[in-house]
Amino acid sequence: MKTLKMFFLLLLIWLQYSLWWGKNGIFDYIIVYKKVIMEKKENINLDILNNQIILEINKFNNRIKNN
């Protein structure tokens, strides 16, 4: 019985270690999540810049058509 308890305790410790510090654990998830948030913000900024450029091109094309 004591051996079984020790086995389950070691199993619990190993599972917790894998969850927190193992490959694709919680800490890896947090790092990747922060990177995704940063990339989404960058994409929003790039979309705004792209829309501004498209507006300038359309204005330029309208000027050429009107002249």
Q: Which domain holds residue 40?
A: 2-66
| Per-residue pLDDT, 54 | 97
10-residue stretch averages of pLDDT, the chain, 67 residues long: 94 93 92 98 98 96 84
How many domains does the chain contain in total?
A: 1
| Per-residue pLDDT, 49 | 98
Q: How far is CA 56 from the centre of its chain?
A: 32
24: alpha, beta or left, given left = phi > 0 and alpha = psi -120 to 50?
left
